[in-house]
Amino acid sequence: MTQLITRRSLLSGLGGGIVAGALPACARTGPQPANTPASKDGRALELRATSPFAKDFAWGVATSAYQIEGAASEDGRGPSVWDTFSKQPGATFEGQTGDVACDHYHRYREDVALIRSLGARAYRFSLSWSRVLPQGRGQVNEKGMDFYSRLVDELLHAGVTPYATLFHWDYPRALFEKGGWLDRDTADWFGEYAEVVVKRLGDRVLRWMTLNEPNIHILLGHVLGVHAPGLKLPPEKAFVAAHNCMRAHGKAVQAIRAAARPATHPEVGCAFAFAGYHPASSSSEDLAAAAELTFAATEGTLVRPAWWLDALLRGAYPADGLSAHAAHLPPQFERDLVEIHQPQDFLGLNLYWSEPVRRGTEGRPEPLGFPPGYPRAANDWQPIVPQTLYYGPRFAYGRYQLPLYITENGLSVRDQLFLDGSIHDAQRIDYLQRALVRLADAVREGVPVRGYFHWSLLDNFEWADAFKQRFGLVYVDFSSQRRVAKDSFAFYRDVIRTNGALALAPTTVAADVVSP
Ligand code: FCB
């Protein structure tokens, strides 16, 4: 007798229990009809789904240094802009800081053991620039470097592939005081740092990301002033900071390739916040309108994908953005574009949400926003939009033709420990399943997505929202540092074991909260 694993049975705990004990054999077996493993009571289970994910698909989890490490002034680490910003009155929720965060610096072995028990094949983490180089350049802090070396060894020992990000928003304070991203030399400083790191880890780390979400870093930290370093720059300066960020990326790509041993064939990319649009209906007009608006760069230019990715991947700023902002760029910016435009092996997309758009009456794309009461995550900025995982990769691949990783995707939920000692995060499980269903659609259509990194492994310091937002698959009690795997951890573990088939299993849930 066969039994269909349904969404309802998973949520009631039945499916989770059965699946957890039953599916090891079908891990890592590639695109194929999922197998029919036996349940605990000996009955066969049928996963009536076919996984389109490649057998070496990088199922992973992601974190970043300042959000989890703690040990802020230990073993010679220098301060970053987040250390000082988070201590300014009113800068973060309830004045919380990342001084201790998840204490990952001391508990990394326990955390790698969690990654291993999740069955994840890949782990995306970032290095703290000022832990490696306390002054941002010059003297290397060997103790700090040694931490990352031990972390990498621990991951490899656990059979987990490390994906390292060089910069995830924690810019060294010492270099900020010299001018930060506004100083042209910042590109060289970043290149030097990349060289230091790759010389020491490049024998074991083969996947590198230069910058994480430079567009969001510039917008929130340098224009709106709500993230570190808390600047509110006028456009002529903000565009220079963004331009220098891109130059730093270009230098780092070259430094990584020069410092790595050629035989290791390092792969280099960046992780980009691909804030886009999706069509409001299944009509081809709305589809074209969504693609058009996703790559428009006239308004909100500094966060628009085309402003950054056209420069990085095509060697030119998009014409529409340029016609509005050429005056804000440094003189002879065209010459810099040669160095900014480095060959990349992949493009990382951080995907959280997108906005519906239709072809308006005058032929222009018309963003529609969200109706009142539309479902949202615990944070205010993320409406529940699973189709972002389909349209984002499709549009990005259509324009840039690079293999993709989903370097971040996840959901903040108001998690709590229930009376039974568990964390029942049904909303996260539901979102994850919906998101993977749509990602699978993109893969089936031939979009080369090589991996998916769930944000995040652990609840952590969510920037200005501090510990209020919980994005983890693992709950962290920040007063005791106790880790408790949430229900979503078990769900994702089973997704990984079935190479995605579990997420694609027919569901008892009604149609999407949103269309199409
Ligand atoms: C992304 C950031 C990451 C985390 C998630 C929720 O924009 O890259 O550090 O804050 O959002």
H or E element, residue 157: helix 142-157
CA distance 427 to 411: 8
Q: Whose CA is closest to atom 4 on ligand 1?
A: 462
pLDDT at residue number 50: 81
The 10s digit of each residue's pLDDT in 76-90 is 999 999 999 999 999
pLDDT at residue number 416: 98
CA distance 36 to 50: 12
**Of the residues 195, 267, 408, 462, which is catalytic?**
408
- Is any ligand 1 atom within 6 A of the Cβ of residue 63? no
pLDDT at residue number 47: 57
445 is catalytic: no
- Is any ligand 1 atom within 6 A of the Cβ of residue 455? yes
| Cα(213) to centroid(ligand 1), Å | 8
pLDDT band for position 33 (cuts 50, 70, 90): very low
Q: Of the residues 93, 128, 213, which should be mutated to test ligand 1's pocket, given the most ligand atoms within 8 Å of the CB?
A: 213
Q: CB–CB of 347/395 below 8 Å?
A: no
CA distance 410 to 417: 20
pLDDT band for position 220 (cuts 50, 70, 90): very high
Q: What atom of ligand 1 comes closest to residue 64's alpha carbon? A: 9
Rounded mean pLDDT, 437-456: 98
pLDDT band for position 45 (cuts 50, 70, 90): very low
Return all residues near 282 (Cβ < 8 A) that are at least 6 apart: 516
pLDDT at residue number 262: 83
- Residue 360 DSSP SS3: coil
- Is any ligand 1 atom within 6 A of the Cβ of residue 391? no
- Is any ligand 1 atom within 6 A of the Cβ of residue 273? yes
Return all residues near 54 (Cβ < 8 A) that are at least 6 apart: 30, 31, 450
Distances, alpha carbon 455 to alpha carbons 1, 57, 492, in Å: 38, 17, 12
Q: Of the residues 213, 376, 409, 455, which should be mutated to test ligand 1's pocket, given the most ligand atoms within 8 Å of the CB?
A: 455
Tracing tokens 């928003």 back to the chain, one arrives at 169
Q: What atom of ligand 1 comes closest to residue 463's alpha carbon? A: 10
- Is any ligand 1 atom within 6 A of the Cβ of residue 441? no
pLDDT band for position 261 (cuts 50, 70, 90): confident
Task: Using alpha carbons, select from 311, 194, 345, 197 the residue that is nearest to residue 243.
Answer: 311
pLDDT at residue number 503: 87
Q: What atom of ligand 1 comes closest to residue 212's alpha carbon? A: 8
Task: Using alpha carbons, select from 483, 350, 514 the residue that is nearest to residue 415.
Answer: 483
Rounded mean pLDDT, 481-488: 98
Q: What atom of ligand 1 comes closest to residue 410's alpha carbon? A: 6
213 is catalytic: yes
Q: What atom of ligand 1 comes closest to residue 216's alpha carbon? A: 7
Rounded mean pLDDT, 442-469: 98
Residue 43 has pLDDT above 80, yes or no: no
For the chain, give the mean pLDDT: 90
Distances, alpha carbon 149 to alpha carbons 201, 205, 372, in Å: 7, 10, 49
- Is any ligand 1 atom within 6 A of the Cβ of residue 409? no
Q: pTM to 2 decimals?
A: 0.91
- Is any ligand 1 atom within 6 A of the Cβ of residue 469? no
Q: What percent of the chain has pLDDT over 90?
A: 86
Q: Whose CA is closest to atom 9 on ligand 1?
A: 64
- Is any ligand 1 atom within 6 A of the Cβ of residue 213? yes
Task: Using alpha carbons, select from 213, 211, 237 the residue that is nearest to residue 340.
Answer: 211
**Of the residues 69, 154, 195, 213, which is catalytic?**
213
- Is any ligand 1 atom within 6 A of the Cβ of residue 272? no
Q: What atom of ligand 1 comes closest to residue 462's alpha carbon? A: 10
